[in-house]
């Protein structure tokens, strides 16, 4: 009797599911593992992740890189979580450079959908199945032939952040036109990274080039740091106010007792983060566990603690009653890439070269 026949016979006698045993008896490819739906899926992932011992997570969001990743580590202490955080543009460059060199380091990637689309075009993602796909609407999933390439893991908003000790709430700008009031000259900063570029694009599209030039004449300081780092400067009082601040960063700073406030000024830029698994992930079992956790109710509640919002239907997000512009998904990837280059150029000419 062959080993295969013996395994099937034992399975029949003990009542074990044959498909499940077969899945464990053979070594699955990454693609097969990623789309596996057997009842023993979690067991297989846990056993595999224990052997891998680590997962590498690339993200463009500070809260995801910190608290959420740490919570995953607390749930699965046998998995070391390696995190690399940068803005979407640098993240794209790092991933494509690594792939070009034949070095696959990242297991899971989490960033804005426009950059994820460019990564899909470069064949960087593995289609996956997850039991945590159900509580999400189809419009937040990017589907392939057999599974999804990625789906939404967070939502947050960019607008005005200010230090209330330096700028009392009653005096702080309430509308975009307030930013060109002479009293704010030399007091504003914008992020020099992707966050600031998106803001420039949103202002151009809502108010036009002439209005952007008026803001530039306010001696706006371009800080070559992320929106999160700029929020820290506002919390410390080094920067009075900035229109390129994430609501989530102000929420966290307020929780720590900082004298800060966030105010939605039209246009409020809504940014989303979506997550997927790299096609040649070195730790595929841990990667799938990480994606399951990140999109689970438990994981999304950890996301909410950072002031972010969730697309998961059974999680209650903070009520955000203001007009939002989804600039990342407003254009096809190739058009967005061209627009982004144009906005970057305006940032350099109008804001950086002026100083």
In tens, the pLDDT along 257-310 reads 999 999 999 889 988 999 999 999 999 999 999 999 999 999 999 999 988 999
Full-model pTM: 0.79
Start and end residues for every CATH 3.40.190.10 domain found in the chain: 28-154+272-304, 156-271+322-352
Q: What are phi and psi of 251, to 5 degrees?
A: -60, -45
Q: Could you give the 3-state DSSP secondary structure of residue 148?
A: strand
User: Domain 156-271+322-352: which topology?
Assistant: D-Maltodextrin-Binding Protein; domain 2 (3.40.190)
pLDDT digits (tens, 9 = 90+) for 175-205: 999 999 999 999 999 999 889 999 999 999 9
Reading the block at residue 224, the tokens are 């070559």
Alpha carbon distance 207, 169 (integer Å): 24
Alpha carbon distance 80, 236 (integer Å): 33
As to burial, measured by CB atoms within 10 angstroms (0-12 exposed, 13-18 middle, 19+ buried), residue 246 is: buried
Tens of each residue's pLDDT in the chain, 355 residues? 443 444 334 444 444 444 444 444 458 999 999 999 999 999 999 999 999 999 999 999 999 999 999 999 999 999 999 999 998 889 999 999 999 999 999 999 999 888 898 899 899 999 999 999 999 999 899 999 999 999 999 998 999 999 999 999 999 999 999 999 999 999 999 999 889 999 999 999 999 999 999 999 999 999 999 888 999 999 999 999 999 999 999 999 999 999 999 999 988 998 899 999 999 999 999 999 999 999 999 999 999 998 899 999 999 877 777 888 888 778 877 788 899 999 999 999 999 886 5
CA 156 to chain centre: 9
CATH class of the domain defined by 28-154+272-304:
alpha beta
Q: How many residues does the chain have?
A: 355
Alpha carbon distance 335, 340 (integer Å): 9
């Amino acid at each position: 009797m062959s080993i295969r026949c013996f395994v099937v016979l034992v399975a029949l006698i003990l009542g074990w599911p044959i498909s499940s045993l077969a899945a464990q008896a053979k070594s699955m490819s990454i693609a097969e593992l990623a789309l596996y739906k057997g009842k023993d899926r979690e067991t297989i992932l846990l056993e595999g992740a224990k052997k891998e011992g680590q997962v590498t997570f690339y993200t463009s969001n500070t809260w995801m890189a910190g608290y959420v990743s740490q919570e995953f580590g607390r749930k699965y202490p046998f998995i070391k979580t390696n995190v690399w955080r940068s803005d979407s543009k640098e993240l794209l460059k790092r991933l494509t450079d690594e792939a070009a060199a034949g070095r696959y380091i990242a297991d899971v990637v989490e960033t804005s959908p426009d950059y994820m689309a460019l990564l899909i075009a470069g064949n960087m993602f593995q289609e996956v199945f997850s039991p945590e796909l159900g509580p999400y609407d189809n419009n937040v999933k990017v589907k392939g032939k057999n599974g999804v390439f990625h789906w939404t893991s967070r939502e947050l908003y960019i607008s005005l952040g200010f230090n209330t000790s330096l700028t009392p709430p009653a005096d702080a700008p309430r509308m975009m036109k307030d930013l060109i009031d002479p009293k704010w000259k030399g007091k504003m900063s914008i992020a020099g990274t992707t966050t600031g570029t998106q803001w420039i694009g949103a202002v151009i599209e809502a108010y036009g080039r002439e209005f952007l030039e008026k803001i530039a004449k306010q001696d706006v300081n371009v800080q070559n740091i992320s929106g999160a780092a700029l929020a820290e400067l506002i919390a410390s009082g080094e920067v009075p106010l900035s229109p390129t601040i994430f609501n989530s960063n102000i929420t966290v700073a307020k929780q720590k007792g900082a004298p800060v406030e966030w105010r939605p000024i039209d246009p409020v830029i809504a940014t989303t983060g979506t997550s997927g698994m790299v096609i040649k992930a070195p730790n595929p079992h841990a990667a799938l566990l990480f994606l399951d956790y990140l999109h689970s109710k438990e994981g999304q509640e950890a996301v909410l603690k950072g002031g972010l919002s969730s697309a998961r239907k059974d999680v209650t997000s903070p009520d955000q009653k203001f007009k939002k512009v989804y600039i990342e998904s407003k254009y096809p990837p190739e058009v967005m890439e061209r627009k982004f280059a144009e906005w970057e150029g305006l940032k350099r000419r109008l804001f950086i070269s002026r100083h």
